[in-house]
Amino acid sequence: MNDDNFPFADCAEEFGNTTMNLYYSSPSTLAAVSSLLFHTRGALIDSDTTQPNMEDIQFMDLGCGDGRIVIHMAKAHGIRSTGIDFSPASIAEATENARLEGVSHLCTFMTEDIMAWESIPSKYTWISAYLPKVVVNRLKGLLERWILAGDVGAGSDPKLFVSILYEMKGWDHQKLAGRDENMTLWVADRGTVMSSMEQVDYKLKK
């Protein structure tokens, strides 16, 4: 382990080697994430016959580690992708990996404390996160504000969020089976967020 401060050290059991390997070592999982995003986008804007303009899509991975999913989105789909991580060592590794894969021009990596954010930059279209459960839960309100700021009009790209492994309470989910594992991917769009907020409002009024 490097000398970086490790704020999620108490999540060691949750993020043990088995869990990490299931996600990061599997090309099928990386492909499943991007496939789900494209499928959901198509269902929302009825784009069966219209290919998305990749220049209009910007992807961000929260807790990007060595940058594998960011690099996959850039290399497989030509999407401009950004990775965020608290560890400078991970960001340095991800930057080098992107260079080796020939996608440095499409990838940006930044060292950031996402828990200090007040809003997610509106330029991002799709976001994924593979983070400890406590962090994902704390991000819920931030993500909902980001999603609700998106436009889901005809022909536009809806803002979508995929949380790997963990439920965002009140959000719809889909389960995908990869070649060597089963993983639950929680997909949020404007409709699921509005439904979640209406459920909370109903309970408060009762």
174 within some domain: yes
- Across 106-188, the runs of DSSP E, i.e. the strands, are 107-111, 126-129, 160-164, 173-177, 182-188
CA distance 122 to 47: 22
| Pairing verdict, β 58-62 and 160-164 | unpaired
CA distance 29 to 50: 25
Least confident of 11-20, 45-54, 94-103, 174-183: 11-20
CA distance 127 to 182: 21
Residue 88 has pLDDT above 50, yes or no: yes
What are the φ and ψ backbone dihedral angles of 107, each rounded to 5 degrees?
-115, 140
Please tell me the total count of domains within the chain. Answer: 1
191 within some domain: yes
Instruction: Please report, for the domain that includes residue 129, its CATH number.
Output: 3.40.50.150
Residue 167 lies in domain: 9-205
For residue 85, give the H/E element and its range.
strand 80-85
2 within some domain: no
Position 9: which residue type? A
Q: What is the pLDDT of residue 47?
A: 59
Write out pLDDT tens, residues 177-192.
Answer: 665 566 677 888 888 8
Write out pLDDT tens, residues 43-65.
Answer: 877 755 567 778 889 999 998 98
71 within some domain: yes
Residue with tokens 């996959």: 72
Q: Tally helices (H) and strands (E) across the chain.
A: 6, 7
* 3-class DSSP state of 53: coil
Write out pLDDT tens, residues 115-170.
Answer: 888 888 888 999 998 887 778 778 888 888 898 887 655 567 889 998 877 778 77
CA distance 132 to 134: 6
85 within some domain: yes
29 within some domain: yes
Span 25-53, average pLDDT: 75
18 within some domain: yes
82 within some domain: yes
Pair of tokens at residue 35: 């496939």
